[in-house]
Amino acid sequence: MIFLIDYCAFPWWLAWLLPFLLGLLLGWLLWGRFKGLLRKCEDDLAACRKTGSQLEEDLAECRRSYSTLENENSTLRGKIREMEVALKEADDATDLDRSSSLSVDADTPDVDSSSNVSVDVDMPDVDLSSNIAASGASGAVKVGSDNMYAALKEDNLQVVEGIGPKMESVLKDNGLHSWSDLASKSGGELKAILSAEKYGRKYQIIDPGTWSEQASLARDGKWDQLITMQKALDTGRATGGGETDSKVEKLLIKLGVLRKFQKNDLKVVEGIGPKIEQIMHDGGITTWAQMAATSVERLQQILDSAGDRFRLADPGTWPKQAGLADAGQWKELDEYQDFLQGGKE
């Protein structure tokens, strides 16, 4: 049996149904694929945002660490500057090892001095360092521990005001090798040594009248009395004028066991360098007494107003340190600062 199909009677829309269904299937497949890609991109974007947030937090932490290190660096620079100033003052204030650099003739006597002086042929041994330091001594304070005098050995005759390196050599050539030896001699006996014919006239005008007493105080460890005595001397003789830096103090500064500050120098406070000192001055705090009477909160406000780099400085111990300095309690201040770490308890 033969079946005949009349294509003319076949519905026209059936011819388009198959392509439509195929296109719909293809579109569904493509949409599924792009939807997966879109989801992956959104996940990647979220991960990037999370990473960016973490990096911002890390950057903020780095900035805080940088600010802390910058402040510590500023403090260390202040301490370095403080040590440089102290070293310069020590070099200017003491004559130790300086007289050897003077240009002298064969008959020129021993001169204990750090000043620029003109030395005549017949000038005797003179300790001029007291005069040099006297001009800057007003208002000066010195800080050191109780055992600092251990740095001075008994054979160092230069602790006596009026004795320099060459004069020490002369005395030791005559059997005076220690403070005890020197203390055992009277002023007349010492004068006889200096007037010996082999030394000519150059030492004859020296007055060693106080040398035995000074040596006796050094031998007995009566350093406070010796320093008080030397402050009233000039080249070993009574001046009748104002106080000078003592020879003992200048030697200790030279040896680095004694620190010297001008009165109301805020850098005596551990944690304060030149920049922070200037900030304090700008904030109206220029003396130890003012800082001792200022609250920690006010000090912090002054630091905060100077910018971020100083906000992490901790002024918590500054009033106490300044109070000890203002009261002249240097031993207590020295012990307290040994206890501190970067100015903090």
Domain ranges of the chain: 85-262, 266-339
136 class by beta-carbon count within 10 Å (0-12 exposed, 13-18 middle, 19+ buried): middle
Average pLDDT over residues 309-332: 88
Each as own residue / partner, the long-range contacts of residues 291-297 (CB below 8 Å, 24 or more positions apart, any chain) are 291/266, 291/318, 291/319, 291/322, 292/319, 292/320, 292/322, 292/323, 292/326, 293/319, 294/319, 295/319
Q: Tell me which range, 100-114, 245-259, 315-329, is most confidently predicted by mean pLDDT.
A: 315-329
pLDDT of residue 80: 83
Q: How many residues does the chain have?
A: 345
CA 138 to chain CA centroid, nearest Å: 22
- The region of weakest confidence among 7-11, 61-65, 228-232 is 7-11
Q: Considering the entire predicted model, what is its pTM?
A: 0.47
Q: Using 50, 70 and 90 to split pLDDT, how confident is the model at 212?
A: very high
- 119 in Cβ contact with 200 (< 8 Å): no
Q: Using 50, 70 and 90 to split pLDDT, how confident is the model at 172?
A: very high
Residue 236 has pLDDT above 80, yes or no: no
Q: Using 50, 70 and 90 to split pLDDT, how confident is the model at 15?
A: low
pLDDT of residue 252: 84
- 150 Cβ partners below 8 Å, 6+ apart? none
- Bigger pLDDT: 111 vs 332: 332
**Residue 12 in tokens:** 């026209």
Residue 266 has pLDDT above 60, yes or no: yes
Q: Using 50, 70 and 90 to split pLDDT, how confident is the model at 128?
A: very low
- 263 in Cβ contact with 146 (< 8 Å): no
Question: How distant, in Å, are the alpha carbons of 207, 221, 243, 274 from that of 152?
Answer: 24, 10, 23, 32
Q: Using 50, 70 and 90 to split pLDDT, how confident is the model at 17?
A: confident
Q: Using 50, 70 and 90 to split pLDDT, how confident is the model at 108?
A: very low
Buried b (16+ CB within 10 A) or exposed e, 243-255: ebbbbbbbbbbbe
Report the candidate in 117, 139, 111, 153 with the shortest Cα–Cα distance to residue 248: 153
Q: Which helix (H) or strand (E) covers residue 140, if one does?
A: strand 140-143
Q: Using 50, 70 and 90 to split pLDDT, how confident is the model at 166?
A: confident
Question: What dihedral angle (degrees, nearest 10) is formed by the CA atoms of 247, 248, 251, 257?
Answer: -150
Residue 1 has pLDDT above 70, yes or no: no
pLDDT of residue 4: 54
d(CA 322, CA 235): 36
Residue 194 has pLDDT above 70, yes or no: yes
pLDDT in tens, 68-100: 787 777 778 777 877 776 676 665 544 333 333
Average predicted confidence (pLDDT) for the chain: 76
